[in-house]
Amino acid sequence: MAKLLEVDHLSKVFSLGNILSRVRITAVDNVSFDIKPAEIFALAGESGCGKTTAARIVLGFEEATSGTIIHNGKKGSKNKKVWFTEGIQAIFQDPFATFNPLRTVDNYFFETLYNYKLARNRQAAIETINQKLKEVGLSYEEFAGRYPNEFSGGQLQRISIARALLTDPTLLIADEPVSMVDASLRMSIVNLFKKLRERLGVSVLYITHDLATAYYVSDRIGIMFRGNLVEMGPVEKVLMEPKHPYTKLLRESIPEADPTKRWKEAVTLAELEHEEYLRIGCKFAGRCPLVMDICKQEIPPEIYVDDVLVKCYKYAGY
Ligand SMILES: Nc1ncnc2c1ncn2[C@@H]1O[C@H](COP(=O)(O)OP(=O)(O)OP(=O)(O)O)[C@@H](O)[C@H]1O
Ligand SMILES: [Mg+2]
């Protein structure tokens, strides 16, 4: 099947600190993946593994250090951002940060439709808005003239999805779209992505640290660790028969919907993080129960095992 998005050998290096003490972090490290039309692809991994950075590059918000992105057969570059990102829309983690608290939400919808010349007059605009709101289970009547704080987090996230649909995108990039939504409502919102894929044929790049929702919603999944894609394949295989030692560990330590736990993990990881970025071989070598000498010396090869890509020496006959 033709590819909608092709991310090829993408890398992003951030330089931190001052001239005297430079720290270079390869936030995205030679990552390649693709997304097919009407496919839901998840990128998962713990905090700081580079998910958002990869998404921001695809969205044209951030420039890659190296690598290419092809969307709809068109190659992205610095000055050709506009048509390259055409058809791509983003949905962010915090819906309350997406909307200005002093503006009514319908304002944003009219503005988008007029700016993109998608509606000739107010009546046509209302029709389009209503149609998009219906896709997410809302209606114009319950939405018109209201301010962001008059909605729950779940409702507002539905509204931001409807807004993303206004331009009839072919790819939605949803970065942790449910992590700030009430746990009881998460599945219903994740379900929306499935429904939209079926109804509108839209593809979704679903970014999350939550393997349970990733398993439920996505067709394929890529597991990231310290900027590297360590395992990628059909979600059923990757999560039910994980091959990479890191995927196995991640699966066992699913940070279930408990934000306090997530913070604790992030804090302890921070100490390890710097050391892991500097590793010359496999970034996971320091924590891997199956570590071998070669893992500390050279970057592991990417190997296909039964439709699944695994970046690990264990599968290279060592
Ligand atoms: N603008 C920036 N300048 C410097 N370093 C950055 C910048 N943005 C991200 N980083 C670093 O790059 C690494 C990857 O960050 P990123 O936000 O992509 O991770 P993430 O997987 O989205 O994490 P989370 O699950 O917490 O959202 C981190 O070490 C982060 O500190
Ligand atoms: Mg992120």
pLDDT in tens, 5-64: 999 999 999 987 777 777 788 999 999 999 999 999 999 999 889 999 999 999 989 999
Please give all residues whose beta carbon lies within 6 A of any atom in ligand 1, as ranges: 14, 16, 25, 27, 45, 47-53, 209
Which atom of ligand 1 lies closest to the CA of 45? 21
Whether residue 93 lies inside any domain: the answer is no
Whether residue 244 lies inside any domain: the answer is yes
- Closest ligand to the CA of 265: 1
Phi, psi of 164 (to 5 degrees): -65, -25
Which of 121, 148, 168 is the endpoint of a domain?
A: 168
Average pLDDT estimate for 133-162:
95
Which of 147, 168, 189 is the endpoint of a domain?
A: 168
More confident residue, 254 or 194: 194
In a shared domain, residues 119 and 243: no
In a shared domain, residues 135 and 253: no
Spell out the residues 6+ positions from residue 273 whose beta carbon is closer than 8 angstroms to its own. 48, 226
**What pLDDT was estimated at residue 203?**
97
> Which of 23, 52, 224 maximizes ligand 1 atoms within 8 Å of its Cβ, making it the mutation to test the pocket?
52
- Quote the domain boundaries for residue 116: 104-168
**pLDDT confidence tier of residue 274, bands split at 50, 70 and 90:** confident
**For the segment 179-212, what is each residue's pLDDT rounded down to a tens digit?**
888 888 899 999 999 999 999 999 999 999 999 9
What the block records as the tokens of 49 is 């593994």
Whether residue 48 lies inside any domain: the answer is yes
Which of 122, 144, 168 is the endpoint of a domain?
A: 168
Q: From ligand 2's centre to the CA of 144, what distance in Å?
A: 32
In a shared domain, residues 310 and 191: yes
Assess whether pLDDT exceeds 90 at residue 267: no
Q: From ligand 2's centre to the CA of 93, what distance in Å?
A: 9
In a shared domain, residues 57 and 23: yes
Assess whether pLDDT exceeds 90 at residue 2: no
Nearest residue by C-alpha to atom 24 in ligand 1: 47
In a shared domain, residues 272 and 191: yes
Phi, psi of 274 (to 5 degrees): -60, -45
Which atom of ligand 1 lies closest to the CA of 50? 18
The continuous run of DSSP H or E covering 200 comes out as helix 183-200
Assess whether pLDDT exceeds 90 at residue 278: no
Give the whole-angstrom CA distance, residue 141 versus residue 127: 12
In a shared domain, residues 195 and 123: no
Number of domains in the chain: 2
Counting residues of the chain whose pLDDT is more than 90, the rounded percentage is 74
Whether residue 49 lies inside any domain: the answer is yes
Average pLDDT estimate for 68-85:
70
Paired sense of beta strands 308-311 and 5-16, if any: unpaired
**pLDDT confidence tier of residue 154, bands split at 50, 70 and 90:** very high
Assess whether pLDDT exceeds 90 at residue 279: no
In a shared domain, residues 176 and 247: yes
Whether residue 92 lies inside any domain: the answer is no
**What pLDDT was estimated at residue 254?**
57
Q: From ligand 2's centre to the CA of 184, what distance in Å?
A: 22
**What pLDDT was estimated at residue 255?**
52
* b/e per residue 99-133 (b: at least 16 CB within 10 A): beeeebbbebbbebbeeeeebeeeeebbebbbebb
Rg (CA), the chain: 20
Q: From ligand 1's centre to the CA of 107, what distance in Å?
A: 32
**What pLDDT was estimated at residue 312?**
97
In a shared domain, residues 125 and 264: no
Indicate yes or no: pTM above 0.85.
yes
In a shared domain, residues 15 and 65: yes
In a shared domain, residues 55 and 182: yes
In a shared domain, residues 237 and 311: yes
In a shared domain, residues 21 and 37: yes
Whether residue 95 lies inside any domain: the answer is no
**What pLDDT was estimated at residue 269?**
44
